[in-house]
Amino acid sequence: MSSTNKKWFSLNLNSKHKQGSSSCGCGKTSGGCNSHKEPNTELSEEEFFDAAVDASIGEERHKDGFDQVFDVKMSRRSAFKKLTASLLIGAGAVNTSCSFLAGDESKEKAQIDWEEQFKGNYKLMNNDEKKATVDRLVRSYQLRTGKTISMSSTNAEDDVLFGYAFNISKCQGYMDCVNACVEENNQDRNSQMQYIRIHEMEDGKGFNFNEADDNYYHEVPAEGHFYMGTQCFHCDNPPCVDVCPVQATWREDDGLVVIDYDWCVGCRYCMAACPYDGRRFNWSKPEVPESEINKNQHYLGNRLRKKGVMEKCTFCVQRSRAGKNPACVEACPTGARIFGNLLDPNSTIRWVLENKKVFRLKEDLGTEPKFWYFMD
């Protein structure tokens, strides 16, 4: 398979590793993950990281992480914020940062923790603040594990509105999408969190979710059944966003409904408000084995979460904003999943909306999901 640089022409796409060496099993570009054992022809690990850092922080890259952390300018408002908040709950962080035994690294770690604890809401940050927090998180991960991740803070692009279409006559229930999603988005392995559910429906009973099985394990496609996938539908009028008391979740300009994991207080009101079961909560500390961590991350996307916060499908913001298809779309062997820019009149998603008989779930609720279903 690795004879040329054009690879995915494997005829049998059912097996997921045949996509070729330009993308590895997890669907990332070369060097994006660590699964390439042989020396890569294009970019080494460091070069890749440099390039990624270059792209994300530009001229600031010549300062090291330490400088970046300490050079953060403090406005009066943020200073006040930090001061007040620190009075409320900072004892733990103070403890560590004041320890005489602490070395430079642990001091830096404590400094980062401190600033992370009292930073503002990502939604209201300007680009510099976004970069600063992303750099802190990257540095923090480096200090803790010795490994380097790349994290982006790419904003929504003008003239882009993401939309999704799901072909219920094509889906065969293989669940490759679920697998790809879990690997791409660093979801908790212990609780087996999944953003996507595939419902196995019986023919002739309509969309009977009550009787559908979303956790089948038998050879698929099963006789007399069809399959319907659900995930976050990125509603244009999202009830979850309205109810959040702290604006920790919001709709970005490109239509993605995202969460600032660090701002979320974990009240789960959004979960109660979502009619589509699109949201997941970290009931305990999420754990992903170090070797399985997807290191190509976005602040609003697949970066590592903590316990007690909400998370959900982001249409793989780390991929989609870079121009790639979400992991589920890429992994689907049957082409049942179609993703694209709703504002581009020539996009495939627009063609589907204009030419196929599309429908959405629970349209009567007025949530305006940007996730359509259609049949051949």
Partner 1 sequence: MRRLKVFKRLVIDSLDVITHGSKKYHLWMALLTLIMLIGMYCYSIQIEQGLSVTGMTDRVSWGLYISNFTFLVGVAAAAVMLVMPTYVLKDIDFKQAVLIGEGLAVAALIMCLAFVVADMGGPSVLWHMIPGIGVFNFPNSMLTWDVIVLNGYLFLNITIPFYILFRHYQGKKSKKSVYVPGAILSVFWAVAIHLVTAFLYQGLQARPFWNNALLGPRFLASAFAAGPALIIIVLAIIRTYTAFKIEDKTLKKIAMVVTVAAQINLIMLISELFKEFYAPTHHSESAYYLFFGLEGKTALLPWIWTAISMNVLATIILTFHKLRNNFKVLFFACFLLFVAIWIEKGFGLIVPGFIPGPYGKIAEYTPTGIEIGVTIGIWAMGAFVFTILARTAIKIETGELRYKKDK
Partner 2 sequence: MNKCIIYKISIILCVVLCFSSCKHHDEEYHSVTDKIKAESKDYHGTSISSEAYIDHINTIEVTENDITFLIPERKGEIKSYSCTECHSKPLTQMQNEDLKKAHWDIKLSHADKMTMNCVTCHNGNDMDFLQSLTGDQIDFNASHLLCSQCHQKQFNDWTGGAHGKRIESWAPPRASMTCVNCHNPHTPGFESKWPERYNTQKINERK
84-143: contacts with partner 1 (CB under 8 A): 84-85, 88-89, 117, 120-121, 123-124
Please state at what angle helix 127-145 crosses helix 104-117, rounded to 10 degrees: 140
The yes or no reply on residue 247 touching partner 1 (CB under 8 A) is yes
Stretch that binds partner 1, among 35-43, 218-226, 240-248, 333-341 (CB under 8 A): 240-248
Can the peptide bond before residue 221 be classed as cis, meaning omega within 30 degrees of 0?
A: yes
334 binds partner 2 (CB under 8 A): yes
Of the pair 8, 283, the CB lying nearest partner 1 is at 283
How far, in Å, are 7, 63, 197, 209, 312 from residue 213 at the CA level? Answer: 36, 53, 10, 8, 21
Q: Is 288 near partner 1 (CB under 8 A)?
A: no
Q: Tokens 């070729």 correspond to what residue?
A: 20
| Cα of 347 vs its chain's centroid, Å | 23
**Out of 25, 221, 308, 333, which residue is the one contacting partner 1 (CB under 8 A)?**
308
Phi, psi values for residue 157, rounded to 5°: -90, 150
DSSP single-letter state for residue 224: T
Q: Which positions from 74 through 113 interact with partner 2, judged by CB under 8 A?
A: none
Q: Which residue type is seen at 196? A: I
Residue selected from 49, 65, 148, 209 as contacting partner 1 according to rule CB under 8 A = 209
Report what 271 binds from partner 2, partner 1, none; CB cut-off 5-8 Å by kind.
partner 1
| Binding residue (CB under 8 A) for partner 2 from 59, 210, 355, 364 | 355
**Tally of CB atoms within 10 A around 142:** 13
Query: Which residues, in sequence order, are CB contacts of 301 under 8 Å at separation 6+?
Result: 185, 258, 314, 316, 317, 318
* Contact call for residue 167 and partner 2 (CB under 8 A): yes
Instruction: Tell me which residues touch partner 1 (CB under 8 A).
Output: 81, 84-85, 88-89, 117, 120-121, 123-124, 191, 197, 199, 209-212, 214, 230, 239, 242-248, 262-269, 271-277, 280-285, 306-310, 365-367
